[in-house]
Amino acid sequence: MKTLYDVQQLLKQFGVYIYVGKRIYDIELMQIELKNFYDSRLIDQDTYMTAWHILRREHRIEESREEKL
């Protein structure tokens, strides 16, 4: 797992499709869902941490894009 798309595919395996309309909100909602999966023991710690780091990186990228506007 290396990209936001990979995290989306992970969520999709559990029937979760996220589209709010604004990318940063999508990422935040993915973080919430990912935490719920981990707390429910549906995913292991390695998967959770890898996906969490990807989402955190993408969130920072989106924040910097918004600051430039």
Using pLDDT thresholds of 50, 70 and 90, give the confidence band for residue 69.
confident
Q: Which is nearest to 9 in space by CA: 44, 39, 47?
A: 47
Distance between CA atoms of residues 47 and 64, nearest Å? 26
Residue 57: CATH number of its domain: 1.10.287.760
pLDDT of residue 67: 87
Residue 35 domain boundaries: 4-68
Question: For residue 45, what pLDDT is reported?
Answer: 98
Question: Binning pLDDT at 50, 70 and 90, where does residue 63 land?
Answer: very high
Name the domain count of the chain.
1
62-68: list long-range contacts, CB under 8 Å, 24+ apart.
62/23, 62/24, 62/27, 63/24, 66/24
Tens digits of residue pLDDT in 8-49:
999 999 999 999 999 999 999 999 999 999 999 999 999 999
